[in-house]
Structure 1
Amino acid sequence: MLKRITLSIGVLVVAVLAYVMTQPEPITIIDDGLRIEHETRAKSVLEVLEETGIEIDEADYVTPALSAELPSERIIHIERANTVSLQIGYGQIETIETRERTVRDVLLRYGVAVREGDDVYPDVRTPITSGMTIRYQPVVAVNVIVEDKAKTVYTMATTVEQVLREAGVDVSERDTISPALVQTVREGMTITVNTSRDVVQYENRLIPFDIVKEEDETLEVGQTVVAQVGVPGLERTRYALTVENGTITNRTETGIETLQTVRPQIIKVGTKPVPEPLEDQTAEAPQTDSPFREEAKIKIEETPRAEDVLDFSSAKQLLVEATAYTNNPEDTITYDGRVLTRSGYDVTETILYEGLRIIAVDPSIIPLGTRVYVEGFGMAIALDTGSAIKGNKIDIMMDTKEEAVTFGRKPLTIWVIPKQEEKEGTDDA
């Protein structure tokens, strides 16, 4: 009798254990931060995900692996890839899937180590989100001499071989190349192919314009008006170079060509007497109102004047990435219904200042108030900034949105022309 009871209890225990073992157990799935609770009898990660209908892309990362058994802690982690648009240099925009966490990590994955002076948008520390666009453009100038032609190439390449490939230069085993193809690229490097003895190089130079002041009896004394904006001349000088083993040993000027003639700046100066105030009126000192309003986000150090003398001999030539924008109130921030630049200048009804086209710049590269000669546009003035205008970039103000869209984004050569410093005379007495 006791034996039967013991046997019955054993059968019951086995049945209970079998029942318990076949019951679903809870498991937690953390899908890119989203917590999902689930009960399952499944034995592997893949079975659990199939039960819950969670789809996994090839770029996604699952811990433990899909083929693994369920972990003892009963937690499955899914790290989703983000879809990002990536543009390196002036190449095509590529859509990629990535699990990297920051812009710097994405660029490193593509073999790009960001260096000081490189143009990266957004900032390298920005977290990655799906749909974002990353643009990277280094600022490296390399001189390439092939046969009898020399040109400057702006490139993100890291080796001589990559520079020549980007420049469309086909090389063979018979070619003499200096430095070697595997040599690391550096700023200002000169690369020669076949070590040509006779090389032609061109250099552009601005020629300053004169400031002509003309009296105007229709303007009151103290008033000035820019009747004609000055345009500097542009000369192209031809040089003959002697190059030996990648080193320029002789540079001789062989000719000068005028690309653009000088046009003087004409300023009308008022000569009309200012009416005397009546005796019973309180005399007040005349006030000269600044054209820059107090709503300025970035204060301009000194108000630019039409009669300022510019130092063309110190003009700095830059290659920049140029974009375009408008003074349309719908496309920008307004103050009391008026459209202002970040320096406080009212552009509601104009895109000019003293006859000069307004551009937005990075003040750390081009100080506000500086005159700039822009290839294809002539003289302009830096009076605005922008959140995306960092480094060697400018934004050119256009009359219409259609003009801005048509202009798009393109590389341009500009000359930054500083104001000539006043030199104090010396007293020999």
Structure 2
Amino acid sequence: MKIISKLLPAFKTKLVIPILSIIALVAFVSFTTYQVTKAQITVTEDGEVSAIRTHADTVEDVLNELDIEVEDHDKLSHPKDELITSGMKIDLIKANEIIVSINDEDKTYFTTTETVGAFLDEQKIEVSDHDEVSLNRDHKIEAGLSIEIKEAYQVMLNDGGEEKQVWVTGGTVADLLKSENVSLGDLDRLEPKESDRLSEATNITITRVEKVTDIVEETKDYSIVKKNDSSLAKGTEKVVSSGKEGIIAKHYEVVLENGKEVSRELIKEEVKKESEQRVVAVGTKVNQNTGVNTVSRGDDTVARTLTMHATAYNWNCASCDGRGLTRTGINLKANPNLKIVAVDPSVIPLGTKLWVEGYGYATANDTGGAIKGNRIDVHLPTLAEAYRYGRKTVQVRILE
């Protein structure tokens, strides 16, 4: 018994060591097995990569293990309830809150897109080429970003009568004129004012005003001077100097609006050429063969008789000079009832007293471009009487 008592402690000591070794081995194997059986997972959050080994069952468990909270607008590569597999890569993109102002009306959005252009496409926000966007399409999205959009509309621009539609996104009339490179002259009129704000109902009208000088040359009639001449028979006249018209330059200030004349004011007259007087000699010699532009029945001594082709005219005819003066200077305009006949001086000399069949006593004191040879043209008081006269063959008596 004493021997057993002595051997028992030694036996216990030798037995404990193997047991402890077995326990340690089991623990090591268990730990190793636990570690080996962990899944290898890669989690990327907004570009930051975390690699972990985990016994988590689902994606949500992994995120909870990493204290990562997923909001409603965030973009997660896998459903939260998807089971974990070794080598799985989980991507999480956190949504950014941004504010979009369209025509000064604000709206809040959440997005995981990277650029402004991608965001606008994602939200189906249409932006035309004429709209104004505060940021470029390739601008990076970040939290708190503000995007301002002003939608374009058209206004009418009438520039000097030429109309066109112009796209604008607001501003003033002056802003539009500057963007269209439209400048105003000192006299031009603009409606509405440059400081007025633009709206979809705005119509802009520019009236182009200019002042120009128009120089008009006009003829100045000559004056007629009559001088007594004792060498000429009384009642006859002779042109000594035919006279020449003068020229006056009239300067007008003309106002044009959109190229059309609206007013004209005479500001200066300038004599370019002085007129020359017409000098007429008036006969004062009295003898039995002279009268005062008429022939009386007492002067009817017939030298010869001619058969002539006769027509009629009036001092106011279309081809006449309008002053009513005969070739010898008699004023038919002032004395329309005088009996005057136009002749060919080579056939009937000027100043000759006549008797014309159907016309009566007269004097040959005028000529005409078409009056040649045996033709005469009798003067009648009115154009109507001249037209009615027509053409006739008449007897003409040359009186002495």
Determine which structure has more spread, i.e. the larger CA radius of gyration: 2
Q: State the TM-score bracket (shorter-chain normalisation).
A: 0.3 to 0.5
- The TM-score, its normalising length taken from structure 1, stands at 0.34
- The TM-score, its normalising length taken from structure 2, stands at 0.36
